Structure 1
Amino acid sequence: MAKRPVLVAMDLEGVLVPEVWISVAEKTGIPELRLTTRDISDYDQLMKHRLGILHEHRLSLRDIQDVIDTMEPLPGALEYMDWLRERYQNVILSDTFYEFASPFMRKLGWPTLFCNSLQVAGDGQVVGYRMRLQDGKRHATLGFKQLNFDVVAMGDSYNDTAMLAEADLGILFRPSDNVRREFPQFPVAMEYRTVIDLIQEFAAR
């Protein structure tokens, strides 16, 4: 029987690019914005926290986009993506927002991205967000498997673990100590070279 094709699904922030909210916190001097899904597993709770801070400090979407425009992919991410796209189907599954992601997608060579959308008022204030689908990363992984792909998934945070659990191979990439401790069933990669080795080993089975 022919082997099934391999598809690699990846988170974005913390895996291919820096964490947007941490960069915004550093640029604006608002430490409360440093919290991410590495710290708070409830995404709705985390986003309400962020939106409240944006409102309090009158930060607009443009303010955040100005920070994003200065950010670059993580060292080695471009080379990794070049290696990946020559060999396997791949997609980015992220809880970020299309309004944030375009500069990153351009710098990464416009990979396929499934993510969410922001609700923005006429004055540019971010007033809410719209999830494309609840638990979308897990549902996408299940869908790819139903399409007869063998799925490798890679992420770094609590909100990636359901995707990793559904994948044929789940990889934690540079996770926080608490995520690594709570999910010991997933192999950990601290460098892209390790990710490549894990993917090749999986594909060769």
Structure 2
Amino acid sequence: MRIVCLDLEGVLVPEIWIEFAERTGIPELRRTTRDEPNYDKLMKYRLDLLRQHQLGLPDIQNVIASMGPMPGARAFLDKLREDYQVIILSDTFYEFAHPLMRQLAWPTLFCHSLEAGADGMLTGYRLRMPQQKREAVVRLREMNFTVVAAGDSYNDTAMLGVAHAGILFHPPENVVREFPQYPVTENYDALRAEIDKAFARI
């Protein structure tokens, strides 16, 4: 059986934190792991900001729902699922992704979880497991699935490396330079063609 593993942000939907920062007018929320490599410290910083601005989970979900998937993402995903099983592997949170998953017809998503109080304010987060993208692909291969993976950034390269074939989708130039072994695609038609080619040669 053939499985395609896709990253979510930057592949099917916009970068959630950056888009959320734009829509709420809170530029500090644009801070990413490029600015703060310690993920726990970064998430506590983000949660503190949300509390300061009195933004609870329902407020955040409403903003995220207004983002929508990237143009063409739904059609690409629908067509891909006709021929392959598809699993989305993301470092986002179920509670953030939920409104966008509805717009993508509820594909299978593996990601992390947020914790919220009765008032809807976020109190913490739970990682499903460390390196969950890479580990998911490793386990799928152990179950004799053939896996092609696609993503756009550094945090996807570990899963690309353990898949039978890895593909970059609209990556930044520094990722292209550092990982020249992966074919680069810039639109959904090219990504689909590269997925088909990868399965044909495996």
Q: What TM-score comes out, normalization by structure 2 length?
A: 0.91
- Is 1:80 matched with 2:41? no
- Is 1:126 matched with 2:134? no
Distance 1:179 1:6 in 2: 26
2:95 to 85, 95, 99: 99
2:159 to 159, 163, 170: 163
Distance 2:104 2:60 in 1: 19
Deviation, structure 1 residue 169: 1.0
SS in 2 for 1:186: coil
Q: Contact 1:151–1:168 at 8 Å: present in 2 too?
A: yes
Q: Contact 2:148–2:199 at 8 Å: present in 1 too?
A: no
Deviates more, 1:135-144 or 1:27-36: 27-36
Query: Gaps (5+ residues) in structure 2?
Result: none
SS in 1 for 2:129: coil
How many matched pairs? Answer: 201
Once the two structures are superposed, residues 118-167 of structure 1 have per-residue CA deviations (whole angstroms, 9 ceiling, x without a partner) of 01122222121001111111110001111111111111122211111111
SS in 2 for 1:9: strand
Q: Tell me what 1:182 maps to.
A: 178
Distance 2:45 2:181 in 1: 31
Superposition map of 1:9-158 within 5 A: 9-37=5-33, 42-158=38-154
Deviation, structure 1 residue 50: 1.8
Distance 2:84 2:60 in 1: 33
Distance 1:25 1:120 in 2: 20
Q: Contact 1:40–1:46 at 8 Å: present in 2 too?
A: yes
Q: What TM-score comes out, normalization by structure 1 length?
A: 0.90
Deviation, structure 1 residue 37: 5.0
Distance 1:150 1:37 in 2: 31
Deviates more, 1:143-152 or 1:29-38: 29-38
What code does the residue aligned with 2:171 have?
Answer: P
Q: Contact 1:38–1:179 at 8 Å: present in 2 too?
A: no
Once the two structures are superposed, residues 17-52 of structure 1 have per-residue CA deviations (whole angstroms, 9 ceiling, x without a partner) of 112112211111111212345665553343233223
Distance 2:192 2:33 in 1: 25
Q: Pick closer, same or farther for the CA change 1:41–1:144 going to 2, 3 Å.
A: farther
SS in 2 for 1:86: helix
Counting aligned pairs with the same residue, the percent is 58
Q: Pick closer, same or farther for the CA change 1:180–1:119 going to 2, 3 Å.
A: same
Q: Pick closer, same or farther for the CA change 1:63–1:195 going to 2, 3 Å.
A: same
Aligned-pair Cα RMSD in Å: 1.8
What code does the residue aligned with 1:163 have?
Answer: M
